[in-house]
């Protein structure tokens, strides 16, 4: 099928490349000429597993890049809208890009088209997009608007697209649902997975994935409610971790105990320094605003956000209680990205923590495997970027672990201890076993688990002859 994808950001680019891999002819439309030129030259603007392979595989054949929305709409049966929906100052989603694309699509409709919302949007957006397209001259039966939310995580977006837990199609007519079913047929009927060149199957992937057809409004709600639920799970376990710290319990054991209940599950139950990224913080605020507009006061979401912010304050307090005063302290920092496996620093708790620590007068030497360039733009001077975890630790008063990169979980502990001025680690991601750290000579603080420190060595006492008349 011929499809257009409007917007070449994370979602648009990944969706475009994956739809091409399913066998469709895809044109990705953007109005950013520099970005289009870079994509046409073969550059890959984002750090995403398997994306370079897919772009290389399909660029210039099944995957094209263009600034011509009108021609792309004319040539396509389905047009996926994947433009940004940044938050306004009030926390609502700014839908002006979506509206302007809808106007552009309206002028080009020359036969039946399905306009598919791929961006995360509030529950009434489908209706508005339909109205805008009609207002701008399209016949009512010349198009349908569908919602096909994405559940891509940065870093694993390609495999999340090709091996999804589910495909949600929000369509209000059978004709519209048929078009989307056909687009996803290679995944839903499993034929994609039989191909020798299919992107490798990740652990836990269920194939073929279920395809769920709902109304457009339900699909819009599924996206916001999914992200809000996942964020709630993280805040919940962070709150439990705080209680564990107060009473000396171990949140890891608690997680194991509750996560093995299949109704709860182990995933997204890792406590830390709070969630970040371009999705959860923005989507929670937007969902809160949508609920308010619909007349429902969704205060549970306020609390999820409050716990998330509080988690960073608690971490600062932990650093202070480990080091006493902060002014002039040199801190090694591992991790700048909002999570491991990405160079994205948007709403990164690591960046927010570094800024707070700098305000307290700390000197920071940071290392991240992918996010230096982006962090350099976001952080003022006064931070040194190290070439490795060991260089970041060199001569530091303590080492902070702020992002869950896999390479931070397998450091050479002996070498790390030699680099640090004092063997103190404050781990915001619980990457190490406290007992192992103590055995390696570290004083180790983590989240929701008792701090550990090396056993005090018994002081050797010289043998003395027993004194006469000594009182026993
Ligand atoms: C999230 C969702 O997981 C995707 O399903 C969704 O499609 C996407 O948002 C989106 O709306 O586009 P993403 O923002 O890439 O994906 O990142 P996650 O892997 O969900 O992590 C979000 C944050 O939560 C990170 O800061 C991470 O460190 C934190 N986190 C995650 C925890 O603190 N604990 C956990 O157990 C899991």
Question: Are 115 and 22 within one domain?
Answer: yes
Yes or no: say if 444 and 437 are a contact pair by the CB < 8 Å rule: yes
Beta sheet of 424-427, edge-to-edge order: 383-385, 363-367, 330-334, 398-401, 424-427, 443-445
Question: Are 231 and 256 within one domain?
Answer: yes
Look at residue 453 and tell me if it is in a domain. Answer: no
pLDDT per position as a tens digit, 165-196: 999 999 999 999 999 999 999 999 999 999 99
Question: Are 110 and 205 within one domain?
Answer: yes
pLDDT at 462: 60
d(CA 235, CA 238): 5
Question: Are 230 and 205 within one domain?
Answer: no
From 181, 213, 245, give the residue that closes a domain: 213
Question: Are 209 and 234 within one domain?
Answer: no
At 65, which CATH number? Answer: 3.40.50.720
Q: What percent of the chain is predicted at pLDDT more than 70?
A: 97
Question: Are 239 and 106 within one domain?
Answer: no
Look at residue 461 and tell me if it is in a domain. Answer: no
How would DSSP label each residue in 416-466? HHHHSSS-EEEETT--S-HHHHHHTT-EEE-SSS--B-PPPPPPP----PP
Count of domains observed in the chain? 3
Yes or no: say if 307 and 284 are a contact pair by the CB < 8 Å rule: no
Quick one: average pLDDT of 301-316? 98
Residue 279 appears among annotated catalytic residues: yes
pLDDT per position as a tens digit, 347-361: 999 999 999 999 999
C-alpha 268 to ligand 1 mean position (Å): 8
d(CA 61, CA 44): 17
Look at residue 130 and tell me if it is in a domain. Answer: yes
Question: Are 73 and 194 within one domain?
Answer: yes
Question: Are 33 and 172 within one domain?
Answer: yes
Yes or no: say if 278 and 344 are a contact pair by the CB < 8 Å rule: yes
Question: Are 159 and 276 within one domain?
Answer: no
Q: Please say if the pLDDT value at position 466 is more than 50.
A: no
Look at residue 48 and tell me if it is in a domain. Answer: yes
Stretch (H or E) spanning 404: none
Question: Are 60 and 23 within one domain?
Answer: yes
pLDDT at 89: 87
Confidence of residue 381 (pLDDT cuts 50, 70, 90): confident
Which of 253-279 are b and which e, b meaning 16 or more Cβ less than 10 Å from the residue's Cβ?
A: ebbeebbeeeeeeeeebbbbbbbbbbb
From 291, 308, 325, give the residue that closes a domain: 308
Look at residue 148 and tell me if it is in a domain. Answer: yes
The residues, ordered by sequence, that sit 6+ positions from 251 with a Cβ below 8 Å of its Cβ are 237, 240, 241, 244, 271, 430, 447, 448, 449
At 235, which CATH number? Answer: 1.10.1040.10
C-alpha 465 to ligand 1 mean position (Å): 67
Question: Are 326 and 249 within one domain?
Answer: no
Yes or no: say if 392 and 334 are a contact pair by the CB < 8 Å rule: yes
The residue range of the domain holding 285 is 223-308
pLDDT at 458: 64
From 290, 308, 326, give the residue that closes a domain: 308
Look at residue 452 and tell me if it is in a domain. Answer: no
Yes or no: say if 18 and 51 are a contact pair by the CB < 8 Å rule: no
Yes or no: say if 386 and 392 are a contact pair by the CB < 8 Å rule: yes
Whether residue 150 has its Cβ less than 6 Å from ligand 1: yes
**Nearest CA to 93 among 305, 326, 281, 338?**
281
Look at residue 455 and tell me if it is in a domain. Answer: no
Mutational pocket test of ligand 1: of 120, 152, 350, the residue with most ligand atoms within 8 Å of the beta carbon: 152
């Amino acid at each position: 099928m011929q499809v257009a994808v409007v917007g070449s950001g994370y979602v648009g680019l990944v969706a475009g490349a994956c739809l091409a891999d399913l066998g469709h002819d895809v044109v990705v439309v953007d109005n950013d000429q520099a970005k289009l030129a870079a994509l046409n030259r073969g550059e890959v603007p984002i750090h995403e597993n398997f994306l370079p392979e897919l772009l290389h595989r399909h660029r210039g054949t099944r995957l094209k890049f263009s600034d011509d929305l009108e021609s792309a709409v004319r040539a396509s049966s389905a047009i996926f809208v994947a433009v940004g929906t940044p938050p306004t100052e009030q926390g609502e989603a700014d839908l002006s890009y979506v509206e302007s694309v809808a106007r552009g699509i309206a002028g080009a409709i020359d036969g039946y088209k399905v306009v598919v919302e791929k961006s995360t949007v509030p529950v009434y957006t489908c209706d508005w997009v339909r109205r805008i397209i009609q207002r701008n001259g399209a016949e009512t039966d010349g198009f349908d608007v569908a919602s096909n939310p994405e559940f891509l995580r940065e870093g694993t977006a390609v495999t999340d697209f090709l091996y999804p837990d589910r495909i949600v199609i929000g369509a209000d007519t059978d004709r519209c649902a048929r078009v989307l079913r056909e687009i996803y047929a290679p995944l839903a009927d499993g034929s994609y997975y039989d191909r020798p060149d299919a992107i490798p199957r990740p652990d836990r992937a269920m194939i073929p994935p279920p395809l769920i057809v709902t109304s457009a409004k339900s699909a819009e709600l599924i996206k916001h409610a999914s992200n809000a639920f996942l964020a709630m799970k993280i805040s919940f376990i962070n709150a439990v971790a705080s209680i564990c710290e107060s009473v000396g319990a171990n949140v890891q054991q608690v997680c194991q105990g509750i996560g093995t209940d299949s109704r709860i599950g182990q995933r997204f139950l890792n406590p830390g320094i709070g969630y970040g990224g371009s999705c959860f913080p923005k989507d929670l605020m937007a969902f809160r605003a949508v609920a308010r507009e619909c007349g429902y006061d969704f205060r549970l979401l306020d609390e999820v956000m409050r716990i998330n912010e509080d988690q960073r304050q608690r971490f600062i307090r932990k650093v202070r209680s480990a080091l006493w005063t902060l002014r002039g302290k040199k801190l090694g920092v591992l991790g700048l990205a909002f999570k491991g496996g990405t160079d994205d620093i948007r709403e990164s708790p690591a960046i927010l923590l570094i800024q707070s620590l700098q305000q307290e007068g700390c000197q920071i030497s940071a290392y991240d495997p992918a996010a230096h360039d982006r962090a350099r733009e976001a952080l003022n001077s006064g931070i040194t970027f190290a070439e490795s975890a060991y260089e970041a630790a060199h001569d530091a008063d303590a080492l902070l672990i702020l992002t869950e990169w896999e390479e931070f979980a397998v450091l050479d502990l002996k070498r790390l201890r030699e680099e640090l001025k004092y063997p103190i680690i404050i781990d915001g991601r619980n990457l190490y076993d406290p007992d192992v750290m103590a055995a390696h000579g570290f004083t180790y603080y983590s989240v929701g688990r008792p701090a550990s420190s090396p056993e005090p060595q018994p002081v050797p006492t010289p043998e003395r002859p027993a004194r006469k008349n000594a009182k026993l």
